[in-house]
Amino acid sequence: METIPTSINSGLGWKSSSFFQHSNFFNLLSHPFKPKPSLSKFSLTCSATSSSSDPLLVQAARGDLVSRPPAWMMRQAGRYMAAYQKLAQKHPSFRERSETTDLIVEISLQPWKAFRPDGVIIFSDILTPLPAFGINFDIEDVKGPVIQSPVRSEDGLKVLHPIDFDKLRFVGESLKILRQEVGGDAAVLGFVGAPWTLATYIVEGGTTRTYTNIKSMCHTAPHILKSLLSHLTKAIADYIVFQVESGAHCIQIFDSWGGQLPPDMWERWSKPYIKEIVNLVKKKCPETPLVLYINGNGGLLERMVDTGVDVIGLDWTVDMADGRRRLGSGIGVQGNVDPAYLFSPLNALTEEIQRVVRCAGPRRHILNLGHGVLVGTPEEAVAHFFEVARSLKFDTLTQNNTANVA
């Protein structure tokens, strides 16, 4: 995991990412996802039923009664780990590391072997699928992601085509191997970028702090932006199904830059496309939990609920008790320990984990950070985070909370 509000490895990484009346959208939906025969040898079928033998994380996301909250971390694999740094010296290209099956698997399993989290997320990036539908990009050491030909015109849209999964074989193969490696001991997590977030890179030509090009397009060229977002919606829905059929138990959708939009603009330019992705995926994979994370989502929480996702990730600026109150008990929550707590004394980290878990309540909670693991985070603090998570018991926490209130 080397990319979050920008690109997202394995969840996360480089710093800086009247809808249904649009005719192009329906044209795009007319081509249902069909895995290519060459990929069938490592395809699974989306499960239509749930099982008590599903990994703890899947059970919690579904709302089943569990004894403790499952735990994983955004940017779980990556630059804070000495093992990753050593491997990166041998393979300095991020794209090589994130687009080579053996390296993806090795990096994804590094935190699994070291800390035994309840979720193992594939080492990848939200931009990884772009070349598979016509958008090429590079990653430069200083700038991060760079798209040489931004899409800002009708001519720019001509490069887009249906997603080609032969160009993403390394993703499918890696998920299959990860599923075999972790067995039933953890959930294998896939992830994607939301259409708006991906569009920020495609329109801006890379990372940005102002989003002026894409925000102005909302008013100066809305038909072009709608066409781009519609194409991304179909491609990303297909990519999610591809990941699930390759072995992912659960998928996180990163709308990393959705929080850069005013709430009413997010309602118009991001939410409908996320909602359509969820609808398309749920038709094929009804039992696959979907998690939605938006960096800076405090002003969007209530608006996120009817996207149809199963779990909403909270960043660390939202109080968990307030987030749970605003979202209600009918939807899952994920998070939301401040990543900076991993630099604090371990007893302070323990207390914060316990507080977050108590505030989230005993159902539908996945313990995580409120953002990705920071560079320089001590590995012993990450190990402690997961040790505390495994030691938690909802019945004990509930009794202690009752005693404190009394």
Query: Can you give the pLDDT at residue 406?
Result: 40
Q: Sign of the C-alpha dihedral, residues 42, 46, 50, 54?
A: positive
Report field, pTM of the whole predicted structure over 0.85: yes
Q: What is the pLDDT of residue 23?
A: 38
Identify whether 310 is part of a domain.
Answer: yes
Residue 327 near residue 314 (C-beta atoms within 8 A)? no
Is 160 domain-assigned? Answer: yes
Provide the token pair at 29.
Answer: 């939906």
Token pair, residue 120, equals: 């193992």
Strand residues in 238-380 grouped as ranges (E): 250-254, 290-293, 311-313, 332-337, 365-369
Quick: pLDDT tens for 48-104.
Answer: 566 778 999 999 999 999 999 999 999 999 999 999 999 999 999 999 999 999 999
Is residue 190 in a domain? yes
Q: Would 149 be classed as within a structural domain? A: yes
386 part of a folded domain: yes
Residue 79 sits in a domain whose CATH number is 3.20.20.210
The parent domain of residue 159 ranges over 56-399
> How much is the pLDDT for 346?
98
The radius of gyration computed from the CA coordinates of the chain, to the nearest angstrom, equals 20
Q: Is 293 part of a structural domain of the chain?
A: yes
Distance (Å, rounded) from C-alpha 191 to C-alpha 125? Answer: 8
Give the per-residue pLDDT at 36.
38
The reply to whether 8 falls in a domain is no
Any domain includes 335:
yes
Helix (H, G, I), strand (E, B) or coil at 145: strand
Tell me the mean pLDDT in the region 216-233: 98
Rounded to the nearest 5°, which phi and psi values hold at 193?
Answer: -90, 145
Q: Which of 46-50, 120-124, 180-184, 371-375 has the lowest mean pLDDT?
A: 46-50
Instruction: Tell me how far apart the alpha carbons of residues 193 and 377 are, in angstroms, rounded to a whole number.
Output: 25
Report the domain count for the chain. Answer: 1
**pLDDT tens for each residue of 279-329:** 999 999 999 999 999 999 999 999 999 999 999 999 999 999 999 999 999
CB atoms within 10 A of CB 249: 25
Select the more confidently predicted residue: 140 or 177.
177
